[in-house]
Amino acid sequence: MTSNLKATGAFALTVALTAALSGALACGRREAHSEDKALPKAAVTLAEGGSSEGGSWVAATLQSTRTANLSTRMGAQVKRVLAQEGQRVAAGSLLLVLGDEDLQAQFKAAETGLAAVEAQHRRMTALFAQKAATAAEVEQAQAQLAQAQAGVASLKAAIAYTQIRAPFAGVVQARKVNEGDFVGPGMPLVELVGEGEQEWVATLSESEGRLLKPGQKVRFESEGVTGEAQVAALSPGGDAFSHKGTLRARVLAPKGLRQGAFGRILVPGAKTEGLMVPRSALVLRGELTGVFVAREGRAELRWITLGEGSGDSLPVRSGLKAEDRVIDRPGALQDGQHIEIRRDGVNHGQ
């Protein structure tokens, strides 16, 4: 009897829960339906694809016209570090000292050997003048002297590589070693950037490169600053994969921009290929950028990625397809709202 009552109670609870769930779903449908009614159909116009006939912006990096990565041709331990990042140094300033104890010992031995060979050469020359030595003996003494002199010069040059000096006046951009580190041949030790002239370095497509020539002036923007630069060098699209070339444009004004800054250069007359959307169609939500697309009688919000551009239209890198119909001047349009496309060029959306 008790088990029957328990079963009956469980069944009643299940029925109650099912009824409550069905009621909630029905209520949700009614709310959604009422929300659709609360948003009247909006009359919208479609955006026309634009172009960037005024020019195309390309990303660029600011560099000094004089940059050097200093290294050594020998293996040694770092003995002293005299330069720090941001420090201004004059040409010839000592920046780094490497251990040279072994080289100094070899150099002294080589100098001693050179002195002995020089004495032998003088004796043989004197004996030859007295006809007490042969010409072959004199030639042998001369060869030994030349060999000893070359050995001393080689060690002197090697010792010079233990003292890393600034080849020109500039600023220490990076110090890549510390005292006690062991360095090898060709290992970067100090990066030095010359003060003075600066240039923008950018990569261009073949079509963009054909619109520029050396000596031409171009406009740039960087960190809220605008200025003018002159094309110093322009290489063709030699990269086997991207088919892009390199542009170097020397800064004319303003001066004193931050080394390594990112900016953009305007290529006059270049037309950006691909999809374009007018600025008036953009929807900004925080750091996101999107557009409304007309789809099956409703407005559908699409988040997109834009490229650099000038004028009233911007290139779209991702988020849209060629067949998408973008809504212009969306105003307060909402995602999923019913729309009616107007043909008179006037937007009556909310």
Q: What is the spatial distance between Cα 245 and Cα 266, in angstroms, rounded to a whole number? A: 16
Question: pLDDT band for position 9 (50/70/90)?
Answer: very low
Q: What is the spatial distance between Cα 89 and Cα 72, in angstroms, rounded to a whole number? A: 19
Least Cα distance to 349 among 276, 279, 281 occurs for: 281
Task: Work out the angle between the directed axes of helices 135-160 and 101-129 (0-180°, nearest 10).
Answer: 160
Q: Where are the domains of the chain?
A: 40-52+274-341, 56-66+196-268, 71-98+163-195, 100-161
Question: pLDDT band for position 271 (50/70/90)?
Answer: low
Output the CA angle 293-294-300, nearest 5 degrees. 55
Size of the chain, expressed as the number of residues it contains: 350
Least Cα distance to 177 among 90, 83, 260 occurs for: 83
pLDDT digits (tens, 9 = 90+) for 150-188: 999 999 988 888 899 999 998 898 899 999 999 998 899
Residue 348 vs residues 39, 40, 333, 339: alpha-carbon distances, Å: 14, 12, 11, 10
Q: Is the peptide bond before 254 cis (omega within 30 degrees of 0)?
A: yes
Question: Are domains 56-66+196-268 and 71-98+163-195 of this chain identical in fold?
Answer: no
Q: Which residue has the tokens 């691909």?
A: 274
Tokens representing residue 259 in the block: 């080394």
- pLDDT of res. 1: 45
Would the CA dihedral through 297, 303, 307, 310 be positive or negative?
Answer: positive
What mean pLDDT value characterizes the chain?
81
- pLDDT of res. 268: 82
Least Cα distance to 292 among 321, 334, 236 occurs for: 334
Judged by average pLDDT, the poorest of 128-142, 274-288, 307-321 is 307-321
Q: What is the spatial distance between Cα 224 and Cα 262, in angstroms, rounded to a whole number? A: 11
Residue 2 has pLDDT above 60, yes or no: no
Residue 182, beta-bridge partner list: 77
Residue 274 has pLDDT above 70, yes or no: no
Q: Which CATH code for domain 56-66+196-268? A: 2.40.30.170
Q: Which residue has the higher pLDDT, 177 or 271?
A: 177
Q: What is the spatial distance between Cα 201 and Cα 145, in angstroms, rounded to a whole number? A: 52
Buried b (16+ CB within 10 A) or exposed e, 126-141: eebeeeebeeeebeeb
Q: Which CATH code for domain 71-98+163-195? A: 2.40.50.100
207 contacts: CB under 8 Å, gap ≥ 6: 270
pTM for this entry: 0.50
Would the CA dihedral through 293, 299, 300, 305 be positive or negative?
Answer: positive
Q: Which residue has the higher pLDDT, 42 or 154?
A: 154
Judged by average pLDDT, the poorest of 161-165, 182-186, 264-268, 289-293 is 264-268
Residue 55 vs residues 62, 157, 208, 210: alpha-carbon distances, Å: 21, 54, 10, 13
Q: What is the spatial distance between Cα 311 and Cα 207, in angstroms, rounded to a whole number? A: 20
Q: Which residue has the higher pLDDT, 6 or 96?
A: 96
| Cβ pair 272, 52 in contact under 8 A | yes
Question: pLDDT band for position 238 (50/70/90)?
Answer: low
- pLDDT of res. 226: 86
Q: Which residue has the higher pLDDT, 140 or 312?
A: 140
When pLDDT is averaged across residues 309-338 and rounded to a whole number, the result is 83
Q: What topology is assigned to 100-161 in CATH?
A: Helix Hairpins (1.10.287)
CATH 2.40.420.20 fits 40-52+274-341, yes or no: yes
Give the pairing type, strands 42-46 and 339-341. parallel
Tokens representing residue 198 in the block: 């600066």
Q: What is the spatial distance between Cα 135 and Cα 142, in angstroms, rounded to a whole number? A: 11
Judged by average pLDDT, the poorest of 39-43, 79-83, 230-234 is 39-43
CA atoms in the 13 A half-sphere facing the CB of 32? 7
Tokens representing residue 135 in the block: 């010409």
Q: Which residue has the higher pLDDT, 343 or 130?
A: 130
Classify 269 in phi/psi space as left (phi over 0), alpha (psi -120 to 50) or beta: left
- pLDDT of res. 3: 45
Q: Which residue has the higher pLDDT, 345 or 96?
A: 96
Q: What is the spatial distance between Cα 337 and Cα 341, in angstroms, rounded to a whole number? A: 13
